Amino acid sequence: MNNNDDIKSTISFNKEDFLFNIKRNKLSLYSTKNNDADFNKEHLSMHFEETTKKMQELQSKLYAQAEYALLVVIQGLDASGKDGAIKRVMSNINPQGFTVSYFKSPTEEELAHDYMWRCIKALPKRGCIALFNRSYYEEVLYVRVHENILKKQNLPGFSSALHKSNKFWNTRMDDINNFEKYLKNNGIEVLKIFLNISKAEQKNRFLKRINIPEKNYKFALSDIQDRKYWDFYMGIYEDMFRRTSTKQAPWYIVPADDKVFVRYVVTNLIVDKLNMLPLNYPVISGKKKEQLDEARHMLENEKE
């Protein structure tokens, strides 16, 4: 057995290791680090290549069959590695069957519609994969922290009391659960991933953005100001996980302090999700098969 085979034999991915568990419903109970010594960078890089090839094959079948679609939702605090994970994980798949959408502060047009409108427009077509960098979940996370965003939505009967009402947020999360059930009923599978970064690692990455000129463009003062709400964010994330990690669309909590490990886990979660679908290349029969036979005959007997 060569060295590459030795490396592959030590890799064993188990999605249950990252699945949100209602009995383990505090983020403090989920590690932010890769604690498995077997998963060093050499192992992870080798496995990442192999898994990427599987993802390419499955995406090709998904696109050709055009019966199912996949929506990948990636949530995480600032500097948790969402952009980097998307860039590396999705860099080798067919761009014809893939879209990525970034949901930042809503525009005036978006605020004039219901809060799901801008995300619904970006849903994947049949046969395609869509990836959301942040998503409609911002409406029960960031908006819950920043009351001014909710005010701009011009909801009927809005008041500060509404903003603080658990009933209001629970209703929104119930609506999200129903929406994801609707998507599944229409052939759109939903994969939800949270990149779990530690406060110390977030600080390190912010300092790099400040100290390295090539990274300055990534820095925003608002990111630092949001650190004041760290404990509040942890609490509302936990509440959101408890209420929206469902059988049809569970949450996966991925340790995010190690970027290479993040890419390994995210790629495997996507492959695992696609593997659960009955994907096959379309079988040609009837008139279409006759046309193929005729075309073959014409090409084979074509005069030079």
Q: What distance in Å separates the CA atoms of residue 294 and residue 101, rounded to the nearest whole number?
A: 43
Which has more confidence, 244 or 146?
A: 244
Q: Are 197 and 256 in contact (CB under 8 A)?
A: yes
Q: Are 222 and 148 in contact (CB under 8 A)?
A: no
Q: What distance in Å separates the CA atoms of residue 248 and residue 192, rounded to the nearest whole number?
A: 11
Mean pLDDT on 225-254: 96
Backbone angles phi, psi at 214, to 5 degrees: -65, -15
pLDDT at 42: 78
Q: Are 219 and 210 in contact (CB under 8 A)?
A: yes
Note the pLDDT tens digit of each residue in 55-85: 999 999 999 999 999 999 999 999 999 999 9
* Domains in the chain: ranges and CATH: 3-300 (3.40.50.300)
Band (38; pLDDT cuts 50, 70, 90): low
Name the token pair of 120. Answer: 């619904």
Residue at 289: amino acid letter: K
Name the token pair of 234. Answer: 């942890």
242: Cα within 13 Å, side-chain hemisphere = 14
Mean pLDDT on 143-157: 89
108: Cα within 13 Å, side-chain hemisphere = 0
Q: What distance in Å separates the CA atoms of residue 155 and residue 183, rounded to the nearest whole number?
A: 25
Q: What distance in Å separates the CA atoms of residue 53 and residue 76, rounded to the nearest whole number?
A: 26
